[in-house]
Structures are given as C-alpha cells and as structure tokens.
Amino acid sequence: MIPYAHAKALLLAHAGCAKALTLPLDEAVGRVAAAPVAAGFSVPSFDNSAMDGFALAAADAAAARPEQPLRLPVAAVAAAGGGPTLWRPGTVVQIMTGAALPPGPDTVVPIENVTVERDGDGVARAVTLTAPPRPGAHIRRRGEDFTPGDALVTAGEHLTPHQVMALAALGVGRLEVAAPPLLTVLATGDEVRPVTAASAGEAPGGDAIFNVNSPYLRTAARLWGGEIEEGGQVPDTRAAFAEALRTLMARNRPGQMVLSTGAVSKGEFDFVPAALADVGADILFHRVAIRPGKPVLFALLPGGVPFFGLPGNPISAAVGFRFFVVPLLRARLGLAPERPWRLPLARSHAVKPGYTVFLKAALSIGGGGTPRVEILPGQESFRIRPMLAANGWVAWDESCAELESGHLVDFYPAFPQTVA
C-alpha cells in the first residue's frame, strides 16, 4: 500500500497528451485550448463614437457658455457601417453609436447635452451648446480593447463564452482544442443489473442490485471533458475479464482509457489483477492509503492504455474517479494541476490517522458572506443519499487525526459546474 501522493505522481507520469483537433468557434466551448491565440489586429480597428450625438472639434466649442450659447451647423450624418463622412471646421457631424469618427473631430457630445434644430422633415440642421465639451469625450479609440499580439487564449485554458466573445471580435472562426479522451467503462458483478427505462420503482429482486457505478462514471466523465464508450457488463470470471480487455485493445482507439468497477480487493472473486497479468498489463499500483477506496488499482495495458480498477462500493468508485481519474484526465487535456480551495471547517471532525481521507462535504455561503464547509453525516462507502447534499469533497491529510471548527481544509468541488 502506497501513499496517495505517490500514487498520484505515478499515474500523472503516464498521462500522455491529447491530440489536437480543430473545431468551429461555437463548438469549442467547454473544450481545452490546444494552442495559444493572439489578436491579429486592433479592436476597435478605428476610432468610433461611444454615444449617439454630435462629433466636433472641441476647440470650436470652447467658448460655449450658458450666457453665451454657441450654434454650430450639422455638416453630415455618420451611421455605423455607413462609410466615411466629411467634416468641416466650425461644424458638427451627427454620429451614431459605433460609427467611425470622421477625420478632424476629437470629441463627441451626447445628443441629450445639446439643443437640436430640425427642419420640417425632422432632419437635424444645427445644434446649440451651452458648455464647452471635454476634449476626447465619448470616443472609443483604435486599439483601446485589443492590440496586435494581445493574448486571447492560452494553451490549457478551458474555453467559455467569454473567450468566444473575444475570439469572435478578432474574427477567429476556428480553434485548436485538445481531443477528448475516450473512457470505456466496464462493470463486474453477477449480482448487478442494468438500469433501464422499465426498471423505475421496482427492486431488482433477490440479492441483485442495480448498476449505479457505470451511469455515475459515464456522466461524470463527460462533465470532466471525456467521451464515453459503454463497455457493458463482464461476467465474474478471470477469463471473461481478460477477453473483454483483449477486445478493447484490439480496437486501438486513440486516447483511450479504461475504467472498471469491482473485483479489485482480496476476495475469492476479485480477479481483476490476475486478468490484467493475463493480458500483459503493467500494474503500477494496487492499494493506496486512502479512505474510502483503498483497493484502487492503476495499470498500463499493452500499448500504454491507462487502466483504472475502481472498487465496487459506489462512494469508493466516486472517490477513485474524482481523485485518480480526474487528475489524469486534466493532465492529458493540458490543464494545469488542480488547486484545492482552502476553506474553514464548520464543525470539528475526527478520522483514523494514517490515511488520506476523502469526505462528502457541502460548501455554503453564510448570510455575512463567509464560506463554510460542512462534513456531511453518512460517510460510509455504500451510502449514496448524502451525495444528494454534497457539492464537493474534503481531502484530509493522513497525518491528521482531528481538526477543530474553523480550521482551513482542502475542498474540491464535486464537478466543474458544482460551485460558482
């Protein structure tokens, strides 16, 4: 049995790197950028008006006072996308928000700050100012937002609609992203029954149980950036499991990872380690000093395909996924190592020392804006109900036996979208 930190280092050493694929911009959200993207031109690419109003040279209106109003004729109208507009000293150009500033004017006066004279058709013919404008007011300058070479996206960055907004402003219509790893989920256990549309509300009968691990792992893997292949149920024999592995290896899928649940402990029917030996796999570790999920196993199948043997208890499988599979997924996608949130514990809690303990937890924000983490009751590895209240995990170092209320603990969100 090895410490968690050692086990994590071993698996990360074999994470590999996802291949890149190019996607249309709209399809890149949620993916991880495979390459940096920089601005190719200035945004705005021209000086333009930030207001509906009138463009003028500030010096032409410097003498305007309430007791000495200044009247200036309207020389032209500038609309957004309407092309260049001519201006003459001593005049104003009626300008709309986003329209290019004509050569000459250095200021825009909002329409509500002037008195507008209109002809019978409602067309503005002159404006009257009663105060001098501030030079440079209400103008969006060329390059004020982006200049050539500005970073838009960095490699290893999760893409959100915020990045899409910036990329679209620079005309970037396609993007290189990391190809999602393909996770194949295998289930063991002759007592396990599949969940189907017809199974709701009825117990499976006898000593059978429903397969909760495969649906959990499939859906969790998608949230963490993987694609899923259902490996199905494997009969509880060494030979059947080895044959299932040979079938997967023969497909030779790029970026594949294999997850199985159950049959990794020390019981009579825990055949996964022996089946891995039968197919020539290299077991890097089996049994880690953690609770729950101590029997977790990590191996490399022939060809370097990562294999995770997760325990069959549902919470043990969830811990194995979150703290073994997710770090490898993130590394393969090019994401930086995850950093936990250091947050105060709501109530004291004791655990058995000598293990890294992962505890179902709920993060909340109090009325005064103070965050607090509560370790939930029902920490047994078979108990699913507390997961409905959990939005994360507290990771407890093996050297600690008890932490007092208010002590800062490492909190890991359950999923990327769990906590804003």
Verify that 240 and 329 share a domain, yes or no: yes
Among 54-68, 253-267, 276-290, where is mean pLDDT lowest? 253-267
- Name the residue with tokens 């705005």: 44
- The winner for highest mean pLDDT among 64-73, 253-262, 406-415 is 64-73
Verify that 126 and 93 share a domain, yes or no: yes
- Whether 149 is in a domain gets the answer no
The whole-number pLDDT of residue 102 equals: 96
Verify that 118 and 55 share a domain, yes or no: yes
| CB contact at 8 A, 229 and 182 | yes
Strand 305-310 vs strand 297-301: parallel, antiparallel, or unpaired? antiparallel
Report the distance separating Cα 288 and Cα 307, nearest Å: 15
Q: Which of the listed residues 283, 311, 333 is the one where a domain comes to its end?
A: 333
Q: The domain spanning residue 208 has which CATH number?
A: 3.40.980.10
- Whether 420 is in a domain gets the answer no
- Whether 150 is in a domain gets the answer no
Q: The domain spanning residue 161 has which CATH number?
A: 3.90.105.10
The whole-number pLDDT of residue 41 equals: 98
Task: State whether residue 248 is helix, strand or coil.
Answer: helix
Q: The domain spanning residue 131 has which CATH number?
A: 2.170.190.11
The whole-number pLDDT of residue 197 equals: 65
| Neighbouring-strand partners of residue 283 | 299
Q: Which of the listed residues 110, 140, 170 is the one where a domain comes to its end?
A: 140
Confidence class of residue 417 from pLDDT cuts 50, 70 and 90? Answer: low
Average of pLDDT values for 169-184? Answer: 96
Average of pLDDT values for 62-73? Answer: 97
| CB contact at 8 A, 78 and 55 | yes
Verify that 310 and 406 share a domain, yes or no: no
- Whether 418 is in a domain gets the answer no
Report the distance separating Cα 157 and Cα 36, nearest Å: 9
Verify that 27 and 173 share a domain, yes or no: yes
Report CA Rg, the chain: 32
Verify that 127 and 170 share a domain, yes or no: no
Q: In the structure encoding, which two tokens stand for residue 217, read together?
A: 């792992």
- Whether 238 is in a domain gets the answer yes
- Whether 354 is in a domain gets the answer yes
On the question of pLDDT at 75 being above 90, the answer is yes
The whole-number pLDDT of residue 311 equals: 95
The whole-number pLDDT of residue 207 equals: 78
Average of pLDDT values for 187-211? Answer: 78
| CB contact at 8 A, 165 and 211 | no
Residue 155 DSSP code: T
- Whether 145 is in a domain gets the answer no
Overall domain count for the chain:
4
Average of pLDDT values for 88-108? Answer: 97
On the question of pLDDT at 420 being above 50, the answer is no
Please state the φ and ψ torsions of residue 358, each to the nearest 5 degrees: -110, 120
More confidently predicted of 330 and 402: 330
Report the distance separating Cα 124 and Cα 166, nearest Å: 36
Q: In the structure encoding, which two tokens stand for residue 321, read together?
A: 């996924």
On the question of pLDDT at 401 being above 80, the answer is no
Report the distance separating Cα 396 and Cα 231, nearest Å: 33
Q: Which of the listed residues 91, 113, 140 is the one where a domain comes to its end?
A: 140
Verify that 350 and 317 share a domain, yes or no: no
Verify that 162 and 38 share a domain, yes or no: yes
The whole-number pLDDT of residue 330 equals: 95
**Hey, how many other C-beta atoms are within 10 angstroms of the C-beta on 17?**
12
Average of pLDDT values for 73-98? Answer: 95
More confidently predicted of 403 and 27: 27
Note the pLDDT tens digit of each residue in 317-368. Answer: 999 999 999 999 999 999 999 999 999 999 988 887 889 999 999 999 887 8
Q: In the structure encoding, which two tokens stand for residue 278, read together?
A: 């039968």
Confidence class of residue 181 from pLDDT cuts 50, 70 and 90? Answer: very high
Of the chain, the percentage scoring pLDDT greater than 70 comes to 98
Among 201-205, 238-242, 275-279, 319-323, where is mean pLDDT lowest? 201-205
The whole-number pLDDT of residue 358 equals: 96
Verify that 224 and 285 share a domain, yes or no: yes
**Beta strand residue intervals within 96-202, DSSP E:** 107-110, 115-118, 124-129, 139-140, 151-153, 174-178, 182-188, 192-193
Confidence class of residue 419 from pLDDT cuts 50, 70 and 90? Answer: very low
- Contacts (Cβ under 8 Å, ≥6 apart) of 162: none
| CB contact at 8 A, 329 and 226 | yes
The whole-number pLDDT of residue 104 equals: 95
Average of pLDDT values for 57-79? Answer: 97
On the question of pLDDT at 209 being above 80, the answer is no
The whole-number pLDDT of residue 341 equals: 94
Q: The domain spanning residue 405 has which CATH number?
A: 2.40.340.10
Please state the φ and ψ torsions of residue 11, each to the nearest 5 degrees: -70, -35
Mean pLDDT (the chain, rounded): 92
Verify that 122 and 78 share a domain, yes or no: yes
Note the pLDDT tens digit of each residue in 123-173. Answer: 999 999 999 999 999 999 999 999 999 999 999 999 999 999 999 999 999
Nearest Cα to 385, choosing from 165, 172, 150, 212? 212
Verify that 250 and 185 share a domain, yes or no: yes
Verify that 187 and 295 share a domain, yes or no: yes
The whole-number pLDDT of residue 350 equals: 84
Q: Show the domain range for 199.
A: 4-15+181-333
Report the distance separating Cα 169 and Cα 158, nearest Å: 19
- Whether 98 is in a domain gets the answer yes
- Name the residue with tokens 């199948």: 301
The whole-number pLDDT of residue 367 equals: 79
Note the pLDDT tens digit of each residue in 268-283. Answer: 768 999 999 999 999 9
- Contacts (Cβ under 8 Å, ≥6 apart) of 64: 70, 129, 130, 131, 132, 133
